Chain A
Amino acid sequence: QVQLQESGPGLVKPSGTLSLTCAVSGGSISSNKWWNWVRQSPGKGLEWIGEIYHNGNSNYNPSLKSRVTISVDKSKNQFSLNLSSVTAADTAVYFCASGFLYYDSSRGGFDIWGQGTMVTVSS
């Protein structure tokens, strides 16, 4: 079965760039799914960051769009998140998650999640 695993630095300096990678195992990133990043600030709710399809098509949350880039590397079966100009407000647990499609390509929610990685923005 498909598993997702996030990796990347746990500490990023203010104004720096947060970079995370999500490795997909047990399945192909070229399957008919959208690959997502979601974050959760300590004690807070969930915020969708953006998504990418294996052909490179992507969508971002407008609140973060100017700072976010999501990319896919099919040769490594992984996708990545870059978030620039970070502040303390970007401190959160970052999850990667797969979004499945059903019927007429309707989005069916996030069925598989990585374990999450805590990223702290601090000098």
Chain B
Amino acid sequence: DIQMTQSPSSLSASVGDRVTITCRASQSVSRHLNWYQQRPGKTPKLLIYGASSLHGGVPSRFSGSGSGTDFTLTISSLQPEDFATYYCQHSATTPQTFGQGTRVEIK
């Protein structure tokens, strides 16, 4: 299985901050990398697919980059509704696996 490792596991930030979350795959997944946001008690929401394509309806402050094994999710200006847990997931092979999550908390 391809292991997905996110860093940091959690972070504290303020509204308006630029936030960067990293995801590393144990082997190349090309650009088959997706990002999700999960607010407490809610279902995951797809933000980014194909490493850098913004899913429909997702605000443009979210962006993704990377290829191969190293990927980044960036929130350019953190908003109150962005405090949540973020997961990366590869869809390159079976099994598709998720990172352990990065919790973004209010500073």
A contact residues vs B (CB 8 Å cutoff): 45-48, 59-63, 95, 99-100, 102-103, 106-111, 113-116
Contact = CB atoms under 8 A, between A and B. Distances in A.
Interface string B27-58: 00000101010000001111001100101000
B89 interface: yes
A112 B34 CA distance: 14
Most A CB contacts (10 A, CB to CB) among B91, B94, B95 go to B95
B91 A63 contact: no
Contacts of A110: 34, 36, 44, 46, 89
A62 B1 contact: yes
B43 A46 contact: no
Contact of B46 (A46, A111, A116): A111
A37 to B, nearest CB: 11
